[in-house]
Amino acid sequence: MQTSLHTLRNGQRARITALPPGMCGRRLEALGLRPGKTIEKVSGMPFSGPVTLVLDGRQIAIGHGAASRVNVDPVSVPES
């Protein structure tokens, strides 16, 4: 099920499916965030603050507007 990055729950894992077009997407790609990569959302700040995620063990923060334009596919984690 497709959704956007900022709607993920904290701690939820997801696979990136599409980046926003233009400079913003290129900037994210240069940081290693690109379609096919799996990330884990760490937190989202209140009042439309930035979303923090972990990619390959490194935290990256993305402004709310940009995060809402990153499409992801949540990875279901089997209940343990």
Residues lying near another protein in the complex (CB under 8 A): 23-24, 26-32, 34, 42-50, 52, 56-66
Neighbours of 41 (CB within 10 A): 22
The H or E element spanning position 28 is: helix 23-30
